Amino acid sequence: MKEENEASLAFAKLQESPVSFWIDSSGGPKDLCKNSFYGLNPKYYIYGSLNKINFVNCYRDIPLECLYRMSCFDFLEEKIKEEKNNPNGIFAGYFAYDLSDFFFAYFDNCYSCESRSLDRVTCKEQGLDSCFHGNDKTNLHLTSNMSDSEYLKKVKQIKEEIKAGNVYQVNLTREYSVELKNINDLKLYLKLRSVSPNPYGCYFKTPFVSILSSSPEEFLYIDSQTKYIRTRPIKGTLSKNVFEIDPKNQAENIMIVDLERNDLGRICEYGSVKAKKLLEIESYKHLNHVVSTVEGKLKPDIKLKEIFEAMFPSGSITGAPKISAMKLIEKIEPTKRKAYTGSFGYIKTDGTMNFNILIRTIFVSEGRIVFNIGGGIVADSSPEGELEEINLKAKGIMNALCLSS
């Protein structure tokens, strides 16, 4: 009961703090469900674009904001060095898909929360009607950044590029949004985690947007002691009772593994990059994923900027070859992805870090809920089949979050 009371108090504090985070390993393989901790009331936070940084000092009666023109990676590294004597300190934040913007906050301390207590309190707190107090659900309208006919046209366009040999696979995403009043973003996250618990989930509240993620995918992990870096691309989704990998999923996964090995090779010692685990089937609440693990040992004195520029964004959410796929995505997707398929995570003051990929994620800002549905388009993809699948997924999210009439 004491742990449950502490969890209830944590939820209240997360809502009160102007900037807060909750890293939440709520489901999936047991060996991945080790992180559940949160941070409140940061000492300072930074946000902006790659070479333009807004620094906000929160430890003042009136927060002081300053502007710096330098690399956000260099700035972060400076701050990590400044805080190195605090073993409990942690930087939490996200980078957008194309590294066009970021938001990181520094917390002097963070607090663990026992996952079973969180699960019990989640059931009590999620009171779903109170997520959207004052809204008439019969009048909610789901809008998208492209029509069905436009989506079909874009799938066909990708297939033509594949046929021409310019790309092998491209991840095409479609954005959906709903206008709402009085959104309780934390309770909405509690609903999301109860429907879709995953090992790399997070709730991240900023003055500009709240990020609610139920991500199953790890982008990178770095062990500050061994200097090993790991990435765990997911490529392939199977029904819950299926444990055989079809040739299509196998080929897609191996293609992305090769891409990740190439990216790691740019920042790791020669000969250290290996596919440690290949084509493993991992079980989650509603389905199974095909996951591979690629790791390597970082070169001496490697910089944060070099790591992210080599690895970002993940090949699993772009396609292959990565640069060609990204150029095509830029051309055909009508809306910038922003934080979607970017990465949220933390950096400890000793240099240990862990980041997810922001998929299965909802963004809440100014009375608007935004989410994206994506899928990998390959040579034998059916445009009509892809359209049907993403529309079903979008309706599934609406139903799961009690947004349907």
Please list the active-site residues: 217, 235
**C-alpha to C-alpha distances, 247 to 137, 295, 386, nearest whole angstrom:** 43, 24, 19
CA distance 298 to 92: 22
Give the pair of three-digit tokens for residue 329: 């995505």
CA distance 258 to 328: 20
CA distance 123 to 277: 36
- b vs e for 19-34, b when ≥16 Cβ sit within 10 Å of the residue's Cβ? bbbbbbbbbbeeebbe
Distance from the Cα of residue 120 to its chain's centroid: 25
CA distance 322 to 404: 37
Distance from the Cα of residue 173 to its chain's centroid: 14
Neighbours of 1 (CB within 10 A): 7
Neighbours of 356 (CB within 10 A): 28
Angle at alpha carbon of residue 207, lines to 204 and 211, rounded to 5°? 25
Number of H helices, E strands in the chain: 9, 22
